[in-house]
A = this chain, B = another copy of it.
Amino acid sequence: MKRVTINDIAKELKVTPSTVSRALAGNTRVSVKTRELVAAKAKEMGYQQNVIASALRKGKSDTIGMVVPRINRHFFSHVISGVEEILNPAGYSLVICQSGESFLKEQKAIDMLLANQVGGIIISLSEKTKCFDHLQKLVDRNIPLVQFDRVHNEISCSKILNDNFNGAYLATKHLIKSGYKRIGHVGGSQSLKAYRERYLGYSKAIEEEGLPVDSALVYTDAITRESGYNTAIKALSSVKPDALFCAGDYCALGVIDALKEKNISVPDEFGVVGFANEPFAELMAPTLSSVEQNGFEMGTRVASAMIKDIEGKYKEEVEVIPTRLIVRESSWNK
Given contacts A1-B141, A96-B96, A98-B84, contact A117 B52 (CB under 8 A): yes
When distances are taken between beta carbons in the complex, the residues of chain B under 8 Å from A50 are 56, 115, 117
How many copies make up the complex? 2
Check if A26 is an interface residue, CB within 8 A of chain B: no
Check if A222 is an interface residue, CB within 8 A of chain B: no
Residue of B nearest to A78 (CB): B72
Within 8 A of B (CB), among A51-78: 51-53, 55-56, 61, 63, 70-72, 74, 77-78
Within 8 A of B (CB), among A80-105: 80-81, 84, 88, 93-98, 100
Within 8 A of B (CB), among A275-292: 279-280, 283-285
**Cα of A77 to Cα of B71 in the assembled complex, Å:** 7
Check if A114 is an interface residue, CB within 8 A of chain B: yes
**Cα of A279 to Cα of B84 in the assembled complex, Å:** 25
Given contacts A77-B71, A95-B95, A280-B284, contact A114 B84 (CB under 8 A): no
Q: Which of B53, B94, B114, B116 touches A63 (beta carbons < 8 Å)?
A: B116
Check if A111 is an interface residue, CB within 8 A of chain B: yes
Check if A32 is an interface residue, CB within 8 A of chain B: no
Check if A37 is an interface residue, CB within 8 A of chain B: no
Q: Measured between C-beta atoms, what is the minimum distance from A65 to chain B in Å?
A: 10
- Cβ-defined contact, B48 with A52, below 8 A: no
**Cα of A35 to Cα of B112 in the assembled complex, Å:** 23
**Cα of A127 to Cα of B147 in the assembled complex, Å:** 34
Check if A178 is an interface residue, CB within 8 A of chain B: no
- Cβ-defined contact, B84 with A77, below 8 A: no
What 7 pairs between A and B have smallest CB-CB spacing? A72-B77, A285-B285, A283-B284, A280-B280, A96-B96, A51-B115, A71-B71
| Contacts from A to B (Cβ < 8 Å) | 1, 48-53, 55-56, 61, 63, 70-72, 74, 77-78, 80-81, 84, 88, 93-98, 100, 108, 111-112, 114-117, 140-141, 253, 279-280, 283-285
